Amino acid sequence: MAKTYLVLLLLTVSYGMSQTQDAAQQAETKPDAPIPGLTAEQSRFFRYFDANQDGQISREEYRNVIVRFFERMDRKHHGYVDDAEIRKAFPAVRQGQPIDPHIRMSLTEFEDFMLARFDKADVEHNGVLPPAEFKVLQNTPE
């Protein structure tokens, strides 16, 4: 439960997007311009996931970011993240207080949880998330 809460908390901080597919395609012509309906920060975040810049996030693009994110959190390179590593990656989480001193989340556990969230957000079941579906990730139940 603590693992799920932690991941949801981290994602809630990061995921807050809304727009249409047309708006994403319009923004492609100006790569630094905010995507209509998104803040500049949200637009940069969306584009970070959208590696091929086609205006949608594929499951593979999403997975690649998840793996890189986990590898950055796993500062000790022991194959899992613990409370200290999570708090170091997100200083604002719980304002320096321990989340769960016994937490140990492996890459496989992190991937499985995050990809299940992707699948729930993919309301069209087509393996990609346009910005409107990507926004759903912050509200996807456990």
Distance between CA 135 and CA 142 in Å, rounded?
16
Q: Give me the number of domains the chain comprises.
A: 1
Q: What is the mean pLDDT of residues 18-24?
A: 37
Output the CA–CA distances (angstroms, integers) from residue 125 to 17, 49, 50, 107, 133, in the order listed. Answer: 19, 19, 18, 25, 11
Residue range of the domain that includes 111: 2-139
pLDDT at position 108 over 90: yes
Q: Percent of the chain at pLDDT above 70?
A: 64
List pLDDT tens digits, range 31-77. 678 766 666 777 787 889 999 999 899 999 999 999 999 999 998 89
pLDDT at position 8 over 50: no
